[in-house]
Structure 1
Amino acid sequence: MGNESKTAGTFLPAQSGLNGELRVPGDKSVSHRALLLGAVNSGPVVVTGFLRAADTLATLRAVRALGVRVDEDGERLVVHGQGWEGLQEPEDVIDVGNSGTLIRLLPGLVAGRGFLCVLTGDASIRRRPMDRVLRPLAAMGVQVAGRQGNTLPPITVRGQALRGITYRLPVASAQVKSCLLLAGLQAEGETTLLEPSASRDHTERLLSHAGAPVRREPCPKGEVVVQVGRAAELRLSNVEVPGDFSSAAFFVVAALLVPNSCVRLLEVGLNPTRTGLLSVLERMGAQVGVEVTDKSGPEPRGNVVAYSSELVATSIEEGEVPLLIDELPLFLLAAARARGTSRLRGAAELRTKESDRLRAMSIFLRSLGVQVTEYPDGLDVVGRPEGWESGNMKTEGDHRLAMVGAVAGAASRGGVVVDDLACIAVSYPGFLQAYESLGGTCLRGS
């Protein structure tokens, strides 16, 4: 990213509080999956509420590179799927940009097709571990390759006739699970996946909506078994993408931390495998209300309202981590204002996101004057209920860290400098406008 696009900003204290209503953009996870499943659907699929952000637009380009026609009208797409056989070999390398979801799900989509697909991405993506999807795909019969012993991008996938497998995921991961489910739809026999704990189930919900033979069953000790059979065709009806809970979460936590605040988020996705942050915040004493407004589609949705609150410390262990994996930096920020010491464990996965989020949050919280102890798989955070003066967020190009910095700035007494505003567009291009509409202030270029 060049200097021109890497613009810093200072987020000033929201002295009058943050107040108002917002509709956040469409859910990123659902937008990715609706496009990918629509690409192999037997017939066109209308997707409304599609998130137009850097990550999801990379998926749009990838689907087109595979020969699928997609008509666009703002947040409304028509994906002209022609079944599995409608996918064509791409003429060039597919660049996923910064999208970890795309580089992990797309290999499963093309795993049973008889052509070569080469995937790469930006510097962050080229550090992402890929053996977690390439190894089980190879066991299903796919020819795969990647850098450093098939562990890092760029990767190649040459589709083959597939056989179903039984596979135990070392770590609960919606991306790995989804990749293998997409491959399992094309395999002879049944594919059975065992997760150590529940992860996001957007893929299973959409597959069930499309008539695919998919089953998901909880087991003792928190494990989950997901099974899928061969599906010669998918019959996905139109998809309405709910508001992205991960995007809404920034304003929920901002309202909690900034005095005299009340923020209402409208038509947000309330999939229980995505909203683990709400349970954690409830344990911390947060005043947050939820109203479910629609359960008719594959994804429930509703309104979330948050009020300024005094928080107490809590702990998060490994089994809970997948339910708020993207919101863990926000939890750590909330912990910095809570009374007592909060603990996070079992979150080593954060070290392989767009940045090493554990290390980055440790550095950031210390810049706020918060006492932090870092562990390989988590942090201890000693809360400062009195708040903080100022700080500096070094984002390392990570969109979620940039928005955490914005929340911290609104809750500060002297402002927080975020070194890169441009990276926010990866998931939430309109974040700054939404932030300012509630009463926040960002001095750009400072």
Structure 2
Amino acid sequence: MTHLTLTPKNLTGTVTVPPSKSMAHRAVICASLATGRSTIKNIQLSDDIIATIEGMRSFGAVISYNHKALTIDGAPFGEIFQSRTIDCNESGSTLRFLIPLATLFAGETQFIGRGQLGKRPLEPYQELFTDQSLPYHLVGPKNLHLSVKGPLTPGIYEMRGDISSQFITGMLLTLPLLDGDSVLKITTHLESKGYIDLTLSVLESFGIVIKQDENGQEFQIKGNQVYVARQYEVEGDYSQAAFWLSANALGNTLSVTGLDSSSLQGDRAIIDVLNILNTEFDESERIIDGAQIPDIIPIVALVASLSKGKTTITNLERLRIKESDRLVATQKELAALGARIEIIGDSLLIEGVSQLAGGQDVWSHKDHRIAMMLAIASTVCLDPIHVKDSDCVKKSYPDFWEIFQQLGGEIHERNMG
């Protein structure tokens, strides 16, 4: 299914959300670094998770998949490996988590990728490798080709936190394994702090202890730590649940299961955001800060487009460096469907309408979250919509369209001629 026609239909039934992609990345990496055998339950083989699995295999981890679970024997440190190539596909998490980890293994590591991956910033790592006089050679941006070689040395590290929390996670995964203690200092405001909380939680589950100051801006990291093999179950994904929860807010009738109400996932904020959008504002407009929840902004913008009154979603600059320029993609495609939405700086200004017209050709921009947002939008349009490049959902939610149909969504493959 690449080009689809979606006919407006109400969605009904029960949907169990897929496992958290964010937590699965981290669990796979931690288990692959552990001594002994781990089992990671509740795994979905999306393109991004496959990229991380293959990356850890390239370091020597032995990984098998059966019945939605991974069995992982950790990579044997200290053995001599030849240089390796890791295909990150379009996964920014895979790339940014594994770059510093690559310095733990002998030989050169080459990272390749496709899509927008070559355009996504890597400057914090480039500065780090330069400071330690380590090989770092990047070719891009059309197709990513990066080669690095270690080893990193323990010490005091300073790193920006306002580009992506993925750089911080990469260092937190790596520094405990160095032969000496380290300190990681964040020199700017830390974006997407919730993802760092997830990282620390998964690290603790695998026996790694990291202390942080009360502001979360400095991490004290003992060296020579050991990842401990264990059984781990990945919880449901709030980022994906956001689409079904938002569908409910728009008048569909779904029971959404598989979520942990006490989850540390930052996108659990979708619950509060939907409550805000369900509140009528007479005089002043709603203000939603999108800095900590970039992955759910497209679906939030859809709900805002059909909420009474005006909504401003602020601090969206990082949406421009996702799988697409997600800020532009969200505005363009929702406007095509009849929403009153515009970009002002790095904010979205939205005035609610009572109905979306539909009847248009729209494009996913090859961005999984735009494609899924358009699917939910189709349920509240007057006329069918035609979605180009719908198969990009494989990046995070490979059976999304199948589930959409099971819930009553009407899909027809479209011949684009």
What is the TM-score of this pair, normalised by structure 1?
0.84
Q: Deviations over 1:208-247 (max 9, x none)?
A: 112212124442xxx6444432243111421101122111
Structure 2 residue 59 is the aligned partner of structure 1 residue 63: no
1:94 counterpart residue number: 86
User: Structure 1: how far apart are the matches of 2:326 and 2:88?
Assistant: 21
1:315 counterpart residue number: 287
Q: Is the 8 A contact 1:46 1:76 kept in 2?
A: yes
Q: Is the 8 A contact 1:130 1:153 kept in 2?
A: no
User: Structure 1: how far apart are the matches of 2:308 and 2:132?
Assistant: 50
Structure 2 residue 202 is the aligned partner of structure 1 residue 206: yes
Structure 2 residue 303 is the aligned partner of structure 1 residue 331: no
1:352 counterpart residue number: 321
Q: Is the 8 A contact 2:89 2:113 kept in 1?
A: yes
Find 1:178's aligned residue among 145, 169, 172.
Answer: 169
CA change 1:59–1:383 in 2 (3 A) is same
CA change 1:46–1:370 in 2 (3 A) is same
With 404-413 and 193-202 compared, the bigger mean Cα shift is at 193-202
User: Structure 1: how far apart are the matches of 2:288 and 2:359?
Assistant: 27
5 Å-filtered alignment, 1:107-256, equals 107-139=99-131, 142-147=134-139, 153-171=144-162, 173-187=164-178, 188-194=180-186, 196-197=189-190, 198-200=193-195, 201-219=197-215, 224-256=217-249
Q: Deviations over 1:91-112 (max 9, x none)?
A: 4x21111111101111121223
CA change 1:171–1:232 in 2 (3 A) is same
CA change 1:141–1:27 in 2 (3 A) is farther
* Percentage of identical aligned residues: 23
Q: Is the 8 A contact 1:393 1:402 kept in 2?
A: no
Find 2:343's aligned residue among 371, 374, 378.
Answer: 374
CA change 1:432–1:311 in 2 (3 A) is farther
Q: Is the 8 A contact 1:45 1:238 kept in 2?
A: yes
Give the residue type in structure 1 aligned to 2:335: R
CA change 1:280–1:225 in 2 (3 A) is farther
Alpha-carbon distance, 1:77 to partner:
0.9
Alpha-carbon distance, 1:445 to partner:
2.3
Alpha-carbon distance, 1:433 to partner:
1.6
Q: Is the 8 A contact 2:60 2:74 kept in 1?
A: no
Give the residue type in structure 2 aligned to 1:442: I
Give the residue type in structure 2 aligned to 1:167: E
User: Structure 2: how far apart are the matches of 1:59 and 1:238?
Assistant: 19
Q: Is the 8 A contact 1:40 1:87 kept in 2?
A: no
Q: Which runs of 5+ in 1 are unaligned?
A: 1-5, 287-309
Give the residue type in structure 2 aligned to 1:266: G
1:299 counterpart residue number: none
Report SS of the residue matched to 2:295: coil
User: Structure 2: how far apart are the matches of 1:170 and 1:430?
Assistant: 34
Alpha-carbon distance, 1:184 to partner:
1.6
Report SS of the residue matched to 2:378: helix
CA change 1:364–1:411 in 2 (3 A) is same
5 Å-filtered alignment, 1:64-83, equals 64-82=57-75
Q: CA RMSD in A?
A: 2.5
1:293 counterpart residue number: none
User: Structure 2: how far apart are the matches of 1:368 and 1:44?
Assistant: 50
Report SS of the residue matched to 2:52: helix
1:51 counterpart residue number: 44
Alpha-carbon distance, 1:35 to partner:
1.3
User: Structure 1: how far apart are the matches of 2:230 and 2:17?
Assistant: 24
Q: Is the 8 A contact 1:46 1:78 kept in 2?
A: yes
Give the residue type in structure 1 aligned to 2:250: L
Alpha-carbon distance, 1:338 to partner:
1.2
Report SS of the residue matched to 2:272: helix
1:416 counterpart residue number: 385
User: Structure 2: how far apart are the matches of 1:275 and 1:140?
Assistant: 38
Q: Is the 8 A contact 2:281 2:309 kept in 1?
A: no
Aligned length: 407
User: Structure 1: how far apart are the matches of 2:32 and 2:81?
Assistant: 11
User: Structure 1: how far apart are the matches of 2:185 and 2:354?
Assistant: 43
Give the residue type in structure 2 aligned to 1:232: Q
Report SS of the residue matched to 2:71: strand
User: Structure 2: how far apart are the matches of 1:137 and 1:51?
Assistant: 34
CA change 1:28–1:267 in 2 (3 A) is same
1:394 counterpart residue number: 363
2:2 counterpart residue number: 7
Alpha-carbon distance, 1:375 to partner:
3.0
Report SS of the residue matched to 1:26: coil
Report SS of the residue matched to 1:185: helix
What is the TM-score of this pair, normalised by structure 2?
0.90
1:279 counterpart residue number: 272
5 Å-filtered alignment, 1:257-272, equals 257-258=250-251, 261-267=253-259, 270-272=263-265
Report SS of the residue matched to 2:266: coil
Report SS of the residue matched to 2:39: strand
Q: Which runs of 5+ in 2 are unaligned?
A: none
